[in-house]
Copies of this chain bind each other. A is one copy, B any other.
Amino acid sequence: MPNHKITMAKHLQRELEKLKKKILSVGSMVEDRVQRAIRAIELQDAELAGEIIRSDFEIDEAEVEVEEECLKLLALYQPVAVDLRFITATMKINNDLERVGDEAVNIAERVMVLSEKKRVRVPFSYHDMAEKTDFMMRKSLDSFVNLDLDLAFQVIIMDDAVDEMNHRIYDMVKDAIRQHPDSVGYLLNLLLISRHLERIADHATNIAEEVIYLIEGEIVRHGMSDVLK
């Protein structure tokens, strides 16, 4: 290999390390928002919800920065094989992370609305669903950091459980509405929170699928969890 090629290759590796740090810091920001959103639900804390909404621009900015960095590396180093896959995987994971941030904002908005309405006691809590969703988010990022195939598969399998929890909450909200039709506005907000959590779990699943693709070099989307059953 001529000398300048070796130098370029070294530069690229250094840039990829930096990129990885950057996307992981976006991941931490997003994870923090998810955890705060969950706390805002549990405490029905409108102030905390407001903070989440106001700070979303930080995630948006970080997302654009990571994407621009990816495009720069593609153009400058023209990477191939695993380096190329790493960059395109980063672009997709970045996109999912930003959308998770949006879902945290959606949850925060629901909490704001709830805090203004008369509270209705419902026979369920989001605790288990929120915990599992948060866990999936963290593990999907861990699987990316450590290129851990097993962990990525575990995340994908967990998604079914979250879907199931979402269906159960849906049924319980339906019953609650039947009993308290006047509080339908309040109760519909509970339903939407459950759906937003479920979407966060979907994004964690997307991230895990990207990680598997990155490791195995094969696109394994669509019906993945069916294969695993």
Contact = CB atoms under 8 A, between A and B. Distances in A.
A74 interface: yes
A67 B219 contact: yes
A165 B91 CA distance: 32
A224 B79 CA distance: 32
A114 to B, nearest CB: 14
Interface stretch (A18-26, A140-148, A176-184): A176-184
Contacts of A177: 177, 181, 184
Nearest to A77: B78
Contacts of A191: 188
Interface string A34-76: 0000000000000000000000010010011001100100110
Secondary structure class of chain A's binding surface, majority of residues: helix
B221 A64 contact: yes
Contacts of A178: 181-182, 184
B174 A64 contact: no
25 contacts: A57-B222, A57-B223, A60-B221, A60-B223, A63-B221, A64-B219, A64-B221, A67-B219, A71-B84, A71-B85, A71-B88, A74-B74, A75-B80, A75-B81, A78-B80, A88-B91, A92-B95, A95-B95, A170-B188, A174-B184, A174-B188, A178-B181, A178-B182, A178-B184, A188-B191
